[in-house]
């Protein structure tokens, strides 16, 4: 089992890239089924920075026309959530009257998703959907529908495939878990 050290913490392989790729294949099939033949151009909202790798992989698998818009929210410091969600960068394009698929790397507490759904409403999105690469069902206690989930995982701290520990580890192609 491969291990990596980032700053003061060691992580071990948790989900290999092949399993991530297969899960993205599966979630893309569901999204394509729901949006197949659509005449509008839905927006894929990339939630920076963590969702970049998932977004890039997912987009390659979608069969309908779509537009990419980005935003950046922050809620983490080190390995724990602060509980407060701040907008670090607003929407990069107008979403008024459009269908938006929010692309998240991970949903744990759900605070960010609640905030994003509110931002969609405030900015006039016709509809918004949530697509996440990873869901931590044990941590997620919000009353928000997660429309598309690639994988469910335990409530562990992970890095890799876009996810970071103090901005490190995003470039790892596998997902690693804290090795305690």
Distance CA 121, CA 116 (A): 9
Question: pLDDT-based confidence at 77, cuts 50/70/90?
Answer: low
Count of domains forming the chain:
1
Query: If phi over 0 gives left and psi between -120 and 50 gives alpha, with beta otherwise, what is residue 57?
Result: alpha
- Is residue 80 over pLDDT 70? no
Q: Is residue 5 in a domain? A: no
Q: Is residue 7 part of a domain?
A: no
Identify the CATH number of the domain in which residue 50 sits. Answer: 3.40.50.2020
Active site residues: 108
How large a percentage of the chain has pLDDT more than 70?
Answer: 96
Rounded to an integer, the average pLDDT of 98-112 is: 95
- Residue 25 located in a structural domain: yes
In-domain check, residue 64: yes
């Amino acid at each position: 089992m491969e291990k990596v050290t980032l700053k003061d913490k060691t992580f071990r392989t948790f989900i290999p890239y092949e399993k991530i790729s297969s899960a993205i294949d599966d979630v893309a099939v569901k999204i394509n089924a729901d949006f197949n033949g659509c005449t509008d151009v839905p927006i894929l909202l990339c939630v920076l920075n963590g969702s970049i790798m998932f977004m890039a992989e997912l987009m390659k698998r979608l069969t309908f026309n779509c537009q990419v818009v980005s935003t950046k929210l922050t809620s983490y410091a080190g390995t724990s959530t602060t509980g407060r969600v701040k907008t670090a960068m607003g929407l990069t394009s107008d979403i008024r009257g459009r269908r938006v698929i929010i692309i998240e790397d991970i949903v744990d507490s759900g605070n960010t998703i609640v905030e994003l759904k509110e931002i969609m409403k405030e900015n006039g999105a016709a509809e918004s959907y949530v697509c996440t690469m990873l869901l931590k069902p044990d941590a997620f206690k919000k009353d928000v529908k997660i429309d598309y989930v690639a994988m469910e995982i335990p409530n562990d701290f992970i890095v890799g495939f876009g996810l970071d520990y103090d901005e490190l580890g995003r470039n790892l192609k596998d997902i690693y878990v804290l090795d305690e």
